[in-house]
Amino acid sequence: MRKLIGKSMAIGAIAALALTATACGSGRDGDTGGAKGGDTKGFAADSLIGVALPSKTSENWVLAGDLFTNGLKEAGFKSDVQYAGASTTVADQQAQITAMVTKGAKVIVIGATDAAQLSTQVAAAHAAGAKVIAYDRLITNTPDLDYYVAFDNFKVGQLQGQALLDGMKAKKPNGPYNIELFSGSPDDNNAGVFFNGAMDVLKPEIDKGNVVVASKQTDVKQTAIQGWKAEGAQARMDQLLTSTYGNKELDGVLSPNDTLARAIITSIKGAGKKIPVVTGQDSEVESVKSIMAGEQYMTINKDTRNLVKQTIEMVKALQAGNTPEVNDTKSYNNGVKVVDTYLLPPVAVTKANAAEAYANDPKLSPLTK
Amino acid sequence: MSRIKDLQKNLFGGTTSNARQFGMIFTLVAIVVLFQILTDGLTLRSDNLIALFNQNSYILILAIGMLMVIVAGHIDLSVGSIAAFTGILVAKSMAEWSLPWPVAILFGLAIGAIIGAWQGFWVAYIGVPAFIVTLAGMLLFRGGNQFIGNANTIAVPEGFRVIGSGFLPEVGPDTGYNNLTLLLGLAACVAVVWREFQARKTRREMDADPAPMWISVLRMAVMVGVIVFASLRFASGRVGTSFPVSGIILVALVLAYSFYTRNTAAGRHIYAVGGNSRAAELSGVKLKRVNFFVMMNMAVLASLAGMIFVARSAASGPQDGNGWELDAIAAVFIGGAAVSGGIGTISGSIVGGLVMAVLNNGLQLLGVGTDRVQIIKGLVLLLAVALDVYNKKQGKFSIIGSLTRSFRRDTPTPPTAPPDAERETARTAVPS
């Protein structure tokens, strides 16, 4: 008897639950999405804007994050600025972008940690009606990326290559010059662009025999430093000095950025050699000091302020329902489509023009005096 | 008095270890409710729940294998590297040899089996501590990943991505829900009810007291309620989304491995080895075979996790797998496994993994940066295990256990708890 009561009770409970289930009504949020993202009608002026940046390995990203937080607030938006963690960068960034979509961000700005591993999240953002802007690093293999904003990175490479030649000529009027090549992390889309830009200038000189890569390591796979890690560059330079420069003089090193440049200089100093002409990029504080002290030869000023300002301009244009301004609709193919791009011009900085180049930078200009 | 005792004994299991597991489930529920309030209802929204499973299924799959490794008294540090190594090989096999993706998945599992056999050989037959073997494996396969992939990112084809970011198709009439997800939920409800009655029948046949009917009903109502709620949530996401495919793989693995570790002799042998390997060996457990199996099994699951991550990321990259071993190990220990081996359950580890996952997700929804998220996760891990160690030293199993101590009978409860994957006991097996 008790059993029977129990059984009927159980069945009753299930039936009740099933009833509530159907009574809850069918509320599938959102439509097939894609249509929403298609035409721009603008959105509320106080909407949430998500910004997903890589881990805090370079001061550039930390600065960019602060600028975004303040800039978006000034423009009246709510902002959510996130950095990927130090060790699990890709998974963190994927989760952060998904969280931003869940929170209903209207525009998501992404500085990708790995250019090719975000397509699922970008697609989800697009399906939810958010616009996606790739910041500084192009996101590849996705049809859902809307805009790309960056400095002209090929030009960066060209400026580095040219500065390397000029610097060596100033020290020693006649060649041939011995140089070594370094390039950035192979999973960063920009690393190859910098390298190709630099080789665009250096290759003719190498072919003429005026410039010699003494170690013969000219392939991008040999020159790459995984993860832009300083210790990687230092170790590679140590090995190059041992293997190649026992009794040869090293005249110049092509380094893709400041962190690597300083690591290379540390290695050369450690070996007790004369510091050659070393290029850089990013205008990091320590490197500007190094340039003023006559160690690192040059860096590139890609004023993060301008890049963030330009990105926020794009967000504002999207908010108003306009098409953001772009100046390159041909060169940046991400493997699926050509992405509308706004390119900002970089500036080469040496000791000679440092004071002028950093005049507007509150942190760097005191260093140049 | 008797009702409370009944409830305590039957709903949360009668033994202290079950009370401890209930404590973890309670913590999980508390965290979910906390974030549900803090995020204004975002946490339990269907798109977020779907994202939660998509983001964490690969870590939870690792936790299954890691639980068995830790119960057997070992550790595996190489899972992240194995995942990355398999990921790059599978991506390359599809990009360069144009292997069809189902074949590529089998290929990936085979790689895992080979790696596992390699590590299992050193651990079980040579006797090198697993810590050392897998530390070597961590370097070996991370290097292998960079060597094969040249540190490049390699995209995988659309079909393959299903296992990491796919959903069930939309079929049948337009009910406003994803019909297949509803069907899965219904099947789960039926299974729960069927099992409850089956367990009662078993107990009667064994002449044991079946739990009072009202407790069975309450238990079923709670379970069915949770399942109905979850399936409605998962089924009501954006059109084209459902309970994720990676989640289905996870659930299938959890059910299979729970059954294996609880109800089969081979599964109980793992506990015996971890509890006291000498005694187990003298009782006829094939020590080497058990050790070989857990290491190999871990590598196969790591390969699967790696492929799911690659499928979700749409590409295999050089950073894949970094730090995964730590997430999996943390999940297992938060889930109540003992550092010395012999104790722990699959479901406990999954709950432990979910605690970390919900914490991560909730903090991200609140916009807390990864720096602070890591600090919080570190503290949670330390506190969870410290509480456990402290309670054991006090001779109690848990705070819940100590609070409810006065309700318990003085005579030990006969170990006749029904087999129940949702509420496994975490006791050391005595080999028969």
Helix B370-393, helix B324-334: angle, nearest 10: 40
Spatial contact of A54 and A84, defined as CB atoms under 8 Å apart: yes
CA atoms of B376 and B302, how far apart (whole Å): 26
CA atoms of B402 and B396, how far apart (whole Å): 6
> Which pLDDT score, from 0 to 100, does residue B338 have?
84
> Which pLDDT score, from 0 to 100, does residue A269 have?
86
Helical ranges in A271-330 per DSSP H: 285-292, 304-319
Q: Which residue has the higher pLDDT, A27 or B242?
A: B242
Task: Please judge whether B217 and A13 are an interchain contact, meaning their C-beta atoms are less than 8 angstroms apart.
Answer: yes
Q: Average pLDDT for residues B411-418, to the nearest whole number?
A: 42
Say whether A120 sits in a helix, a strand or coil. Answer: helix
CA atoms of A114 and A125, how far apart (whole Å): 17
Structure-block tokens of residue A254: 């092509």
Q: What is the pLDDT of residues A101-153, one digit of tens each?
A: 999 999 999 998 888 889 889 999 999 899 999 998 889 889 999 999 998 88
> Which pLDDT score, from 0 to 100, does residue A36 have?
40
Q: How many domains does one find in chain A? A: 2
> Which pLDDT score, from 0 to 100, does residue A135 have?
92
Spatial contact of A28 and A198, defined as CB atoms under 8 Å apart: no
- Among A84, A141, A335, the residue with its CB nearest the CB of B370 is A84
One domain for residues A199 and A63: no
State yes or no: pLDDT of B190 exceeds 70: yes
Please report where in the chains the tokens 């804007």 appear, as a residue: A49
Torsions phi, psi of A342, nearest 5?
Answer: -110, 120
One domain for residues A297 and A201: yes
Q: Average pLDDT for residues B367-372, to the nearest whole number?
A: 80
What residues pair up with A202 in beta bridges, in sequence order? none
One domain for residues A282 and A333: no
Please indicate, yes or no, if residue A7 is contained in any of the structural domains.
no
> Which pLDDT score, from 0 to 100, does residue B255 have?
93
pLDDT band per the 50, 70, 90 thresholds, residue B11: low
pLDDT band per the 50, 70, 90 thresholds, residue B304: very high
Point out the least confidently predicted range of A232-241, A255-264, B1-10, B201-210: B1-10
Q: What angle do CA B15, B16, B22 make, to 5 degrees?
A: 100
> Which pLDDT score, from 0 to 100, does residue A187 have?
76
One domain for residues A118 and A173: no
Look up the CATH number of the domain holding residue A69: 3.40.50.2300
One domain for residues A134 and A231: no
Please indicate, yes or no, if residue A358 is contained in any of the structural domains.
no
Beta-carbon-side half-sphere exposure of residue A49 (alpha carbons within 13 Å): 29
- Among A82, A94, A117, the residue with its CB nearest the CB of B55 is A94
One domain for residues A258 and A336: no
Pairing of strands A298-301, A347-350: antiparallel
Helix or strand run (H / E) with residue B145: helix B130-149
CA atoms of B220 and A73, how far apart (whole Å): 50
For testing the chain A interface, which of B38, B238, B325, B363 should be mutated: the one with the most A CBs within 10 Å? B238
CA atoms of A18 and A21, how far apart (whole Å): 5
Please indicate, yes or no, if residue A12 is contained in any of the structural domains.
no
Spatial contact of A260 and A233, defined as CB atoms under 8 Å apart: yes
Task: Please judge whether B55 and A95 are an interchain contact, meaning their C-beta atoms are less than 8 angstroms apart.
Answer: yes
One domain for residues A137 and A266: no
State yes or no: pLDDT of B16 exceeds 70: no
Please indicate, yes or no, if residue A31 is contained in any of the structural domains.
no
State yes or no: pLDDT of B295 exceeds 50: yes
- Give the residue on B whose Cα is nearest the Cα of A54: B370
**Chain B residues closer than 8 Å to A98 by CB:** 51, 54-55
State yes or no: pLDDT of B218 exceeds 90: no
Name residue B32's amino acid. V
> Which pLDDT score, from 0 to 100, does residue B55 have?
87
Per the document, the length of chain B is 432
> Which pLDDT score, from 0 to 100, does residue B20 have?
58
CA atoms of A206 and B34, how far apart (whole Å): 64
One domain for residues A166 and A279: yes
CATH class, range B2-166+246-423: mainly alpha
Task: Please judge whether B367 and A80 are an interchain contact, meaning their C-beta atoms are less than 8 angstroms apart.
Answer: yes
- Give the residue on A whose Cα is nearest the Cα of B213: A6
> Which pLDDT score, from 0 to 100, does residue B430 have?
43
CA atoms of B320 and A8, how far apart (whole Å): 52
Q: Note the Cα A207 to chain centre separation in Å.
A: 32
- C-beta atoms surrounding A309 within 10 Å: 13
One domain for residues A50 and A159: no
Q: What is the pLDDT of residues A203-223, one digit of tens each?
A: 999 998 899 998 888 888 888
State yes or no: pLDDT of B307 exceeds 70: yes
Q: Residue B385 contacts by C-beta under 8 Å, 6 or more apart in sequence?
A: B333, B334, B339
Torsions phi, psi of B286, nearest 5?
Answer: -80, 95
State yes or no: pLDDT of B383 exceeds 60: yes
Helix or strand run (H / E) with residue A100: helix A89-102
> Which pLDDT score, from 0 to 100, does residue B5 have?
58
CA atoms of B246 and A357, how far apart (whole Å): 52
Task: Please judge whether A187 and B151 are an interchain contact, meaning their C-beta atoms are less than 8 angstroms apart.
Answer: yes
CA atoms of B275 and B270, how far apart (whole Å): 9
Point out the least confidently predicted range of A52-66, B42-56, B338-352: A52-66
Q: Which residue has the higher pLDDT, B149 or A314?
A: A314
For testing the chain A interface, which of B39, B138, B217 should be mutated: the one with the most A CBs within 10 Å? B217
Domain of residue A237, residue span = 153-302+364-368
Spatial contact of B280 and B273, defined as CB atoms under 8 Å apart: yes
pLDDT band per the 50, 70, 90 thresholds, residue B171: confident
Spatial contact of A102 and A55, defined as CB atoms under 8 Å apart: no
State yes or no: pLDDT of B432 exceeds 70: no
Say whether A195 sits in a helix, a strand or coil. Answer: helix
Q: How far is B96 from chain A (nearest CA, A)?
A: 17
Listed as ranges, residues in chain A with pLDDT below 70 are 1-41
Query: Burial level of A244, CB count in 10 A (0-12/13-18/19+)?
Result: middle
pLDDT band per the 50, 70, 90 thresholds, residue B3: low
- Among B196, B315, B370, the residue with its CB nearest the CB of A92 is B370
One domain for residues A58 and A82: yes
Q: What is the DSSP letter of A228?
A: G
One domain for residues A172 and A289: yes
- Give the residue on B whose Cα is nearest the Cα of A23: B232
> Which pLDDT score, from 0 to 100, does residue B418 have?
43
Task: Please judge whether B176 and A27 are an interchain contact, meaning their C-beta atoms are less than 8 angstroms apart.
Answer: yes
pLDDT band per the 50, 70, 90 thresholds, residue B169: confident
Of A123, A115, A175, nearest to A146 by C-alpha is A123
Q: How far is CA B167 from CA A103, A139, B51, in A?
A: 22, 24, 12
Please indicate, yes or no, if residue A97 is contained in any of the structural domains.
yes
Q: Average pLDDT for residues B95-99, to the nearest whole number?
A: 89
Q: Residue B269 contacts by C-beta under 8 Å, 6 or more apart in sequence?
A: B280, B285, B286, B290, B429, B431
> Which pLDDT score, from 0 to 100, does residue A165 have?
93
pLDDT band per the 50, 70, 90 thresholds, residue B224: very high
Please indicate, yes or no, if residue A318 is contained in any of the structural domains.
yes
One domain for residues A137 and A72: yes
Please report where in the chains the tokens 């006090």 appear, as a residue: B394
Helical ranges in B97-174 per DSSP H: 101-120, 130-149, 162-165
Q: What angle do CA A83, A84, A90 make, to 5 degrees?
A: 145
In chain B, where the domains are located: 2-166+246-423, 173-243
Please indicate, yes or no, if residue A354 is contained in any of the structural domains.
no
Please indicate, yes or no, if residue A285 is contained in any of the structural domains.
yes
State yes or no: pLDDT of B15 exceeds 60: no
CA atoms of A159 and B49, how far apart (whole Å): 49
CA atoms of B210 and B216, how far apart (whole Å): 9
Spatial contact of B234 and B50, defined as CB atoms under 8 Å apart: yes
For testing the chain B interface, which of A102, A144, A229 should be mutated: the one with the most B CBs within 10 Å? A102
Q: Average pLDDT for residues B84-107, to the nearest whole number?
A: 93
Structure-block tokens of residue B300: 């196969």
Say whether A252 sits in a helix, a strand or coil. Answer: strand
CA atoms of B380 and B397, how far apart (whole Å): 19
**Chain B residues closer than 8 Å to A80 by CB:** 367
**Chain B residues closer than 8 Å to A222 by CB:** none
